[in-house]
Amino acid sequence: MLAQLSILLAAAPIGICFWDASGTCLQLNDTFAALNGQSIQAQLGQPVEQMAPPALALLAENVRAVLATGTPRIDREVSGSTPSSPDLRHWELSVYAVRSREAGIIGVGAVVVEITSRRRLEAQLLQSQKMESVGRLAGGIAHDFNNLLTVIQGCVNLAQTSLEDESPIGADLIEIQRAAARASGLTQQLLAFARKRIMSPRVISVNRLILSVDTLLRRLIGEDIELETRPDAELDAVRADPNQIEQVLINLAVNARDAMPQGGKLTVETQVVASVGSQQPGGEGRFVLLAVSDTGAGMDDETREHAFEPFFTTKEVGRGTGLGLATCYGIVQQHSGTISIYSELGRGTTVKIYLPLVDAPAERDVAGDAANLLPLGNETILIVEDDESVRNLAARVLRALGYRVLEAANGEAAASVARAYLPAPIDLLLTDVVMPGQVGTQVAANIAHIYPGIRVLYTSGYTENVIVHHNELDAGVAFLAKPFMPATLAQAVRQVLDGRDVVEG
């Protein structure tokens, strides 16, 4: 029985240690030994002061106190890191006296139970309860306020119509109207945070959505910031209101821009993830991860903890209202998703949004739908481009739009790819003009031997080359200037396939 018990204790996932009356270690198990990263052997026979791991800084003090008084100390919470994990961990430490009838206190035992994951879940629960109640408050105020604004705006309009021309009150009324419009914008954001905005969700493609806002984001962030759009998720259908997800992307891009006053890089990417993990409120299932990362100033812990709260801002008065992330939070919640921030001061920021993946094809060609502004296709396209990153980008964009894509790094490779693909059709050749080896026009001629009548779209970063002379194109040639945006590429490809002329200079 005793032998079995000691086997159980040795293997227990809780740390156990025993000291004699002088505070010298007599027994400890693996879990306890691991706390300061030394072997059991190295710690046996040591006084408690020598073996207290940094995480249990108060261990020796507690052991000595229990030895002196006999009063146990139960469930003391201790926190720290250990040699094996630099992250902050939490334990409950209990120290109690061990007595014999004859000799009184003969030693002290300690039991250490790790509660790190429980603490994390508690913190998450607390945070979401807080957001919930702030949301209810904000939603209530916004709702009433909206009604008041309707009255204010209506009355101003009435007053304006019955106003005589040149009346000095006219200018004041316009100011009232402007202020009311600003207030109404704020209430809309508050309603979004409180998840009270009206949604019109449909099944959309997240990849297409990020491609279609590419141009808009570029305009928002300005020229000093590079934008990389990576529609990498192989499945990307989610049930969402595209205008609201677009709003989320805009808010995040604006924050990123503000965090990179000296320039930097903004990356918008998608991925399929199997599960958000049981640590996250999103739970199990498959999700589309939409990640927005910047290389900017980053956030300290304090800012990160409060960032989603409405009206929390570190920006000077007049520059930020603190509603950007609150709006994102509300929108993502309303979509049954989760949103979280990873950031370190000086190391940039990544905001990750998980939206539940749906098992249905994205709807197409719904009028007014931001995700469907980009023209799609299912034709086969051969890309010939010696610059690997440009080729990858074009291929990724076109695949996300539904095309089948073949790739080659030069004219010779292109010819063998094309021959191997026979007799299946290739509808379009997208070729760089200036490349080592065959130039674009030669590539086109060779491929036309294999695929007579194939349509050709040339791209180049040089304004003067074999097909562009003095900024003028040869007649009947479709040309797309580099660098091109995903949206421009999508449009140019569609136009050439549909037999329309393209001149994108």
Ligand X SMILES: Nc1ncnc2c1ncn2[C@@H]1O[C@H](COP(=O)(O)OP(=O)(O)OP(=O)(O)O)[C@@H](O)[C@H]1O
Task: State the SS3 of 197-254.
Answer: CCCCCEEEEHHHHHHHHHHHHHHHHCCCEEEEEEECCCCCEEEECHHHHHHHHHHHHH
Contact yes or no for 345/300 (Cβ under 8 A): yes
- Return the SS3 of 65: helix
Which does residue 489 bind out of ligand X, Mg ion, none, counting CB within 5 to 8 angstroms by kind?
none
- Minimum gap (Å) between residue 119 Cβ and ligand X: 24
- Taking CB within 5 to 8 Å according to partner kind, which of Mg ion, ligand X, none is near residue 322? ligand X
Of the candidate spans 274-282, 300-308, 324-332, 409-417, the one that interacts with Mg ion by CB under 5 A turns out to be 324-332
If the CB atoms of residues 15 and 324 are measured against ligand X, the closer one turns out to be 324
| Nearer residue to Mg ion within complex by CB, 323 or 371 | 323
Residues 351, 232: contact at Cβ < 8 Å? no
Of 440, 460, 325, nearest in space to 384 by CA: 440
Instruction: Identify which of residues 115 and 250 has a Cβ nearer to ligand X in the complex.
Output: 250
Query: Residue 251 CB, nearest distance to Mg ion (Å)?
Result: 6
Nearest residue to ligand X, using CB? 324
To the nearest 10 degrees (0 to 180), the angle between helices 324-334 and 116-161 is 110
Which x/- pattern over 229-268 shows residues binding Mg ion (rule: CB under 5 A)? Answer: --------------------------x-------------
Strands 225-231 and 478-481, sheet pairing: unpaired
Q: Is 107 in the site for Mg ion (CB under 5 A)?
A: no
Contacts of 81-86 with C-beta under 8 Å, sequence gap 24+, read 81/54, 81/55, 82/34, 82/35, 82/36, 82/37, 82/53, 82/54, 82/55, 83/36, 83/37, 84/34, 84/37
Nearer to Mg ion, 255 or 295 (CB): 255
Output 54 or 185, the one with its CB closest to ligand X.
185
Reading the block at residue 455, the tokens are: 């349509």
Give the nearer residue to ligand X in terms of CB position, either 166 or 316: 316
- Selection from ligand X, Mg ion, none that 17 binds (CB < 5 to 8 A by kind) is none
Q: How far is the CB of 150 from ligand X (least distance, A)?
A: 23
The pairing of strands 348-356 and 287-294 is: antiparallel
User: Which does residue 116 bind out of Mg ion, ligand X, none, counting CB within 5 to 8 angstroms by kind?
Assistant: none
Lookup: tokens for 297? 């100033």
- The number of residues making up the chain comes to 505
Residue 323 contact among Mg ion, ligand X, none, beta carbon within 5 to 8 Å by kind = ligand X
Are 97 and 85 in contact, with CB atoms under 8 Å apart? no
Residues interacting with ligand X, by CB under 6 A?
251, 255-256, 259, 294, 296-299, 303, 307, 312-315, 320-326, 349
Phi, psi at residue 86, to the nearest 5°? -70, -15
Please choose which of ligand X, Mg ion, none residue 296 contacts, taking the beta carbon within 5 to 8 angstroms, the exact cut-off set by kind: ligand X
Instruction: Single out the residue of 324, 330, 348, 486 in contact with Mg ion (rule: CB under 5 A).
Output: 324
Q: Where do contacts with Mg ion occur on this chain (CB under 5 A)? A: 255, 324
